[in-house]
């Protein structure tokens, strides 16, 4: 293993805090990873990592090397890219995408991406929760809504509109609401638990009469609270209550008559959709290819 590869192993271990996680991400045997660090420490003449039973952390010298190693690896990748053809996107890319976006948008369009980049291997995850990209070995996440991790590089992609929906059976039983203020009298919503706090999110709508966007909240009762978009939509189809959902998630159900949009003038505020990834300097060709592709894919579903 040459010095650049040793530095790559070192950076991954230091960032992930684990020899095993780094070995799995790099698809190398654990013994190879350990040997690479031993050789690097011998060449540097200093200890680079503190090893405990629970975690691996860089020493003071290790932290100093980390910054230089990241720059060197990024420069090496830039040089490598100079003479490659545009279609030469290769290797494994791990991305985390909300489950409904993965199912409704990403998966049906993947054949086109893979035909364009036949050497790309995509590890597609759908955690539907906040994750530590470094700790879990994820190269990029697509997130909808509030961005809470300021340590990540954020590429805004636009805003997704939400609509209010119910099933025909629910509307036949409870009536068709024409304004959110009617929801407190005889209506139910399907509760959705925040993935960050676990608390039930309120019913929201934008005041159409305010000069600036003003979001109002209503305490609409719920009989079922879920934490998964698939279950959320399934409960709505079953007639349990009203939901607020991105249009692309349910447009096919509206077209089939299984759901009905209500109160189109009083929708919840639209939600940001973004690609997030660590370390701008280490963006790979395959990461660029995926984010560019996804940005084109999501465009038809964004607010104009």
Mean pLDDT, residues 186-207:
88
DSSP string, 261-288: EE-TTSPPPPEEEEEEES-GGG--HHHH
- Which one is predicted more confidently, 279 or 90? 90
The CATH architecture annotation of domain 3-82 reads Orthogonal Bundle (1.10)
Structural tokens at position 202: 């309120």
Tell me which of 29-33, 79-83, 198-202, 220-224 is least confident.
Answer: 79-83
Contact (Cβ atoms closer than 8 angstroms) between residue 213 and residue 269: yes
- Whether 223 shows a pLDDT value over 90: the answer reads yes
- Which one is predicted more confidently, 217 or 67? 217
- Whether 217 shows a pLDDT value over 80: the answer reads yes
The pLDDT score that the predictor gives to residue 148 is 59
For the chain, the average pLDDT equals: 87
What is the C-alpha to C-alpha distance for residues 78 and 223, in angstroms, rounded to an integer?
A: 55
Query: Is 162-269 the same fold as 91-159+272-301?
Result: yes
For residue 105, the SS3 value is helix
Residue for token pair 């050497």: 119
Note the residue count of the chain.
304
Tell me which of 40-54, 75-89, 201-215, 247-261 is least confident.
Answer: 75-89
Confidence of residue 283 (pLDDT cuts 50, 70, 90): low
Tell me which of 13-22, 113-122, 155-164, 221-230 is least confident.
Answer: 13-22
Q: Where are the domains of the chain?
A: 3-82, 91-159+272-301, 162-269
The pLDDT score that the predictor gives to residue 281 is 47
The pLDDT score that the predictor gives to residue 81 is 62
C-alpha 192, offset from chain centre: 18
For 248, other C-beta atoms within 10 Å of its C-beta total 17
The pLDDT score that the predictor gives to residue 170 is 97
- CATH of 91-159+272-301 given 3.30.420.280, 3.40.190.10, 3.40.50.1260, 3.30.2420.10: 3.40.190.10
The pLDDT score that the predictor gives to residue 80 is 67
Full-model pTM? 0.68
User: CA quadruple 296, 297, 301, 302: dihedral positive or negative?
Assistant: negative
The pLDDT score that the predictor gives to residue 197 is 78
Mean pLDDT, residues 253-260:
96
Contact (Cβ atoms closer than 8 angstroms) between residue 188 and residue 153: no
- Each residue of 107-129: pLDDT tens digit? 999 999 999 899 899 999 987 67
Tell me which of 19-23, 110-114, 116-120, 255-259 is least confident.
Answer: 19-23
Confidence of residue 240 (pLDDT cuts 50, 70, 90): very high
Q: Highest-confidence range of 16-25, 168-177, 264-273, by mean pLDDT? A: 168-177
- Whether 85 shows a pLDDT value over 60: the answer reads no
Mean pLDDT, residues 58-87:
77
Structural tokens at position 149: 């991790």
The pLDDT score that the predictor gives to residue 257 is 96
Contact (Cβ atoms closer than 8 angstroms) between residue 287 and residue 277: yes
Confidence of residue 304 (pLDDT cuts 50, 70, 90): low
Tell me which of 72-81, 119-128, 198-207, 270-279 is least confident.
Answer: 72-81
If one looks up domain 162-269 in CATH, what number appears? 3.40.190.10
């Amino acid at each position: 293993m040459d010095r650049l590869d040793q530095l790559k192993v070192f950076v991954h271990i230091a960032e992930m805090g684990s020899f095993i996680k780094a070995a799995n991400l790099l698809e190398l045997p654990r013994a190879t990873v350990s040997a690479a660090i031993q050789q690097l420490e011998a060449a540097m003449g200093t200890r680079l990592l503190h090893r405990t039973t629970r975690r691996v952390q860089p020493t003071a010298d290790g932290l100093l090397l980390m910054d230089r190693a990241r720059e060197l690896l990024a420069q090496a990748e830039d040089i490598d890219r100079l003479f490659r053809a545009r279609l030469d996107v290769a290797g494994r890319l791990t991305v985390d995408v909300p489950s409904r976006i993965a199912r409704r948008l990403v998966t049906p369009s993947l054949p086109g991406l893979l035909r364009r980049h036949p050497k790309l291997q995509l590890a597609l995850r759908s955690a539907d929760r906040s994750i530590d990209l470094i700790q879990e070995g994820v190269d990029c996440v697509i997130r909808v809504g509030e961005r809470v991790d300021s340590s990540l590089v954020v590429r805004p992609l636009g805003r997704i509109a939400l609509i209010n929906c119910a099933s025909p059976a629910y509307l036949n039983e409870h009536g068709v609401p024409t304004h959110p203020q009617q929801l407190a009298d005889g209506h139910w919503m399907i509760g959705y638990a925040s993935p960050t706090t676990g608390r039930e999110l309120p019913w929201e709508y934008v005041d159409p009469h305010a000069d600036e966007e003003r979001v109002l909240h209503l305490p609409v009762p719920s009989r079922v609270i879920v934490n998964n978009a698939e279950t959320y939509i399934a409960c709505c189809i079953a007639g349990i209550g009203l939901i607020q959902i991105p249009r692309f998630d349910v447009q096919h159900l509206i077209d089939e008559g299984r759901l009905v949009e209500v109160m189109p003038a009083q929708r919840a505020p639209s939600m940001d959709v973004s690609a997030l990834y660590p370390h701008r300097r280490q963006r790979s060709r395959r990461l660029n290819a995926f984010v560019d592709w996804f940005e084109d894919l999501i465009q038809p579903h964004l607010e104009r």
